[in-house]
Structure 1
Amino acid sequence: MQQSQTEKLKPVQLSPLPETPTVSVLISNYNYARYIGETIESVLCQTYPHFEIIVCDDGSTDNSCEIIETYVQKDNRIKLIRKKNAGVAIALNRAYEQSKGEIVCILDADDLWINNKLQKVIEAFKCNPKSGFVIHNVVEIDGQGNYVKLAPKLERLASGWMAPYALANGGLVKHIPPASALCLRREITNLIFPLNPAMVRNTDSLIYRLAPLITEIAAIEEILSKFRLHGANATSAKTITPDLIERGQVSAKLVHEEQKKFLQDFYGSEIADQLTDQHQNIIFCHECYLLSRLKKESKAARAKAHQRLITHPEFNTTFSWYKPHRWLVQYDLPDVLFTFLFQQIYGQGHLKRLGKWLLRKKLNASFVHG
């Protein structure tokens, strides 16, 4: 990670892009032979042709590399790096070392891009010359490529200069999509990479939690990628458990520490000290309350977590009355009622399964009659 010196919190100044900038597509792959070919094809079908694809295989034990090699032999824009299994962060670091493009895009080995994604991203960077970070919306698909739902994953996207908000909000900027929708100028990635290899889960959060601290965000509301949910990725977990929440919080703590170090290196201690702790983050407060209930902590501990959540300044905007999540956390419900509602919202309760079945029927009908 390069160091820079600046006197106050402000976006990095960016140089003008060339007329046809090269896009470096970084893919970390581990045992995704089932998906990697389709993922690469989604890049090769882009309407914008000036790109390179760098796939770092993280010690796959399936036939991923054989599949990737068939593409390498057919298109000199594709490069394969092989390494022993050591995690996504190191794989992305190795891919980044070999990249040369003025724009860097992350693509998970199981996700897909819409064919005009790169063209839209280039246009967004050129229309927003102060933005070194472009994001867009995504739609969820299942392991077979069927739509989980037709609506975008995010109701809205973050945009603009969000660093002051991030400092006051425990380091979090909400409404940022997952890895395959993250696109950055090289001036920004040069300051972020290499990623901390200790970050073995949710590695993309290192990117989207550091980039807003140094550059403006430009948002494309359009859906430009398909985010795959399946049994092999962490995001597809069907039921939220205490273990899942705690593992996520371990990753979040590491990211928060990385943010603190990054701010110290880039801005100095005066700015770094302005980064608030994670209890200023509504999502963290929500997780802490759920943990207190799921782990059956003492009434005092539960009451403290509940009070911290419902008095958070963003509670009403995050948990609006029409969302079922509000009814789960608004009041400190009796255990029996809490458990029932939790299973319907975050588990595999009967009402949730019924809702999914009705949604699948609706989606299938829309494709038949569409």
Structure 2
Amino acid sequence: MKTSVLINNYNYQTYVIDAIESVLNQSAQADEIIIVDDCSTDQSAQVLQDFLNSKSPILGDLGGTIPSNRSPNINLILKKKNEGQLAAFQDGFNAATGELIFFLDADDVYQETYIETVLNFYQNHPACDFLFTSSELFGNEERIATCYTHTRDLGYSKISTLYRRTWIGHRTSTLSMKRHVLEAIFPIPYLEDWRIRADDCVTYGTSIANAHKFYLNQPLVKYRVHGNNGYYGRLKTRSPEYFQQYEQAIERLFKFWIKKFNYSEDIDQFAGEEFRSIPHPTQQEFDTFQSIIRCTNLPKIRKGFMLVLAYLYFLRHRNPSECSPQRN
């Protein structure tokens, strides 16, 4: 399975080489690294070109390769206009050729066995379209950030995301997915809406595109907390206007995908089937799907039958040791 790592950078000259080297030092090498510098105003472009020149000659002003059987091809994209994180994601994806796509923010690093472990997971779970892991915070804050207490098959989440905005994912650098799910959700036209937090587009979009999601409870990615993170640590400073704009951006995004995928207004009638795609649902997941079923415009008898089926499935398969998902 050919692998592509997409590194997005904006004004992280201090950290970006650490990110690249963490990919180069993997126990299982990626096939290619795509680095997108979003027209940084610091010395990132020069730092990146100097680094690549020390490895191999730069081919033109767009990229360079390391001619080695063990090393991945490296493609450096220097943008002439700053367009934000979503644009960087899409530019990197357009240049990538891998079947399996990894994301990495320029201020984060991979643990040495990350790619090898994730590749093995996909090989052992052929149904997996989208995988996210736990992470280890370092720098100004040190802790392990988990999403659930155990590795989980999370099933499908198209309906729960459309109707309840279920968020099934984690930080950008913990995400990997098969190429076809990104082909389904990209390109997204609302670049100004998503200068930061573009991982929300990937997380929501892959659910709406009906990706089968899994969570791996291993902290295989190190998330750097340094005080200038694009989103983390700034929540308290967000104004009411910011949250209003975010909600409007989400509405535009969801309407875009509903139209793109041609989803009908009564897609919620399949909520029961989606719920039963989760092998061991949590109480929160049951409550979410129960509320969706209750709000459908189906006849009362059919609605009641769906609720009974969901409840019986939950009683048989629930795993009370699983915690609810958290975006931490």
TM-score normalised by the chain length of structure 1: 0.62
In structure 1, distance between residues paired with 2:234 and 2:95? 37
2:10 to 26, 30, 33: 30
The answer to whether the aligner puts 1:141 opposite 2:138 as a matched pair is yes
- Distance verdict in 2 for CA 1:252–1:233, change over 3 Å: farther
In structure 1, distance between residues paired with 2:148 and 2:112? 22
1:210 aligned residue: 205
Deviations 1:48-101 (A, max 9, x none): 113211111111122211222234331531111111212111122111111100
1:259 to 233, 254, 260: 254
1:219 aligned residue: 215
Deviations 1:237-261 (A, max 9, x none): 3661451x54245224313431232
RMSD of aligned C-alpha atoms? 2.5
Consecutive unaligned residues of structure 1, counting only runs of 5 or more, are 1-20, 275-281, 283-370
Deviations 1:225-277 (A, max 9, x none): 0112222223343661451x542452243134312321332142335788xxx
Consecutive unaligned residues of structure 2, counting only runs of 5 or more, are 56-64, 67-72, 270-283, 285-328
Aligned residues with identical type, % of pairs: 27
1:132 to 129, 132, 148: 129
TM-score normalised by the chain length of structure 2: 0.69
- Distance verdict in 2 for CA 1:167–1:92, change over 3 Å: closer
In structure 2, distance between residues paired with 1:50 and 1:107? 13
What SS does the corresponding residue of 2:5 show, helix, strand or coil? strand
Deviations 1:124-174 (A, max 9, x none): 21222122101111111126xxxx2333343447722222322331x2225
Matched residues, number: 250
- Which structure dedicates a bigger proportion of its chain to helix? 1
Check whether the contact 1:133–1:182 (CA below 8 A) recurs between aligned residues: yes
> Which has the larger displacement, 176-185 or 224-233?
224-233
Check whether the contact 1:27–1:54 (CA below 8 A) recurs between aligned residues: yes
The answer to whether the aligner puts 1:194 opposite 2:187 as a matched pair is yes
Q: What letter is aligned with 1:131?
A: C
Check whether the contact 1:140–1:227 (CA below 8 A) recurs between aligned residues: yes
2:25 aligned residue: 45
In structure 1, distance between residues paired with 2:261 and 2:234? 39
In structure 1, distance between residues paired with 2:226 and 2:244? 22
Q: What letter is aligned with 1:65?
A: A
In structure 1, distance between residues paired with 2:129 and 2:248? 25
- Distance verdict in 2 for CA 1:238–1:269, change over 3 Å: closer
In structure 2, distance between residues paired with 1:61 and 1:85? 9
2:82 aligned residue: 85
Q: What letter is aligned with 2:166?
A: L
1:240 aligned residue: 236
1:292 aligned residue: none
In structure 1, distance between residues paired with 2:40 and 2:85? 12
In structure 2, distance between residues paired with 1:181 and 1:118? 11
- Distance verdict in 2 for CA 1:257–1:231, change over 3 Å: same
In structure 2, distance between residues paired with 1:262 and 1:239? 27
Check whether the contact 1:25–1:53 (CA below 8 A) recurs between aligned residues: yes
Check whether the contact 2:34–2:92 (CA below 8 A) recurs between aligned residues: yes
What SS does the corresponding residue of 1:151 show, helix, strand or coil? strand
Check whether the contact 2:159–2:267 (CA below 8 A) recurs between aligned residues: no
In structure 2, distance between residues paired with 1:30 and 1:242? 21
2:308 aligned residue: none
What SS does the corresponding residue of 1:201 show, helix, strand or coil? coil
In structure 2, distance between residues paired with 1:71 and 1:122? 27
- Distance verdict in 2 for CA 1:51–1:229, change over 3 Å: same
In structure 2, distance between residues paired with 1:226 and 1:248? 28
- Distance verdict in 2 for CA 1:224–1:253, change over 3 Å: farther
